[in-house]
Amino acid sequence: MSLDLASFASIRSFVKDFKERHQTLNILVNNAGVFMCPYMTTEDGIEMQFGTNHVGHFLLTTELLDVIKKSGPARIINVASIASYINARLDKAMVEDRRAYSRLFAYCNSKLANVIFTAALARKLMGTEVTAYSLHPGFIATNIFAHIGLWQRVQNLFFINPTHGALTSIYLALSANAGKMSGKYFVRRQPTHAHPSACNVEEQDNLWKYTEDLIAKYSEQTSYGTF
């Protein structure tokens, strides 16, 4: 099924089509990634890295939650990055002000949002049969480096292949042990310490509200309806 995480219209069309075709969804792996692109925006006008890597996944996940909850036990896996540690905290200015944009730090911003969102989601899903996880997959040789030239040419010498890069996601989707650790951040199939912001309930709620507000604002601007 076609899905563009940089388009609210595509996400909502996908969700509608999915629900018409399927009654259950037991595993959702959110793995779209835009890395260090020049400043650009999604179809709806949100800074591209934050808009695709976080907001697109947030909208897709929350629009599918009714099906996921009915399908329990079910799991949601958000592919984040070790880059989530780089920024001291989530930087809204980088999303809202083009002058504050940095290719690298905007990526880190989006990956930190992935980890915070996962922790918030796991907390909100307590008492259901749905669990949520985030992870760093490793440094993987894919076309995600297309915007930074030299890396694209030398990555195959140093980085792991996509099969190895998928192992932690597969572990989180299928392992009985992982099922007991909802909300955790994983590296090499092991739970580890997430960014402090992910452990802060106030910051979790602030990101959730901020993302809902972005979706409502940009949905209105593009006439797709409200969240």
Which residue bears the tokens 């509200």?
209
What pairs with residue 133 in β-bridges?
77
Is residue 39 among the annotated active site residues?
Answer: no
One-letter identity of residue 180: K
User: How many other β-carbons are positioned within 10 Å of the β-carbon of residue 179?
Assistant: 14
For residues 49 and 138, give the distance between their C-alpha atoms in angstroms, rounded to a whole number. Answer: 19
Which are the contacts of 114, defined by CB distance < 8 A and separation ≥ 6? 30, 53, 54, 57, 78, 79, 80, 81, 84, 134
Catalytic-labelled residue, pool 39, 85, 107, 133:
107
Residue count of the chain = 227
3-state SS string for 194-207: CCHHHHCHHHHHHH
Cα dihedral 197/60/146/172 (nearest 10) = 60
Kindly state the greatest CA–CA separation across the chain: 48
Contact status, residue 131 vs residue 75, Cβ threshold 8 Å: yes
Q: Which positions are annotated as active-site residues?
A: 107
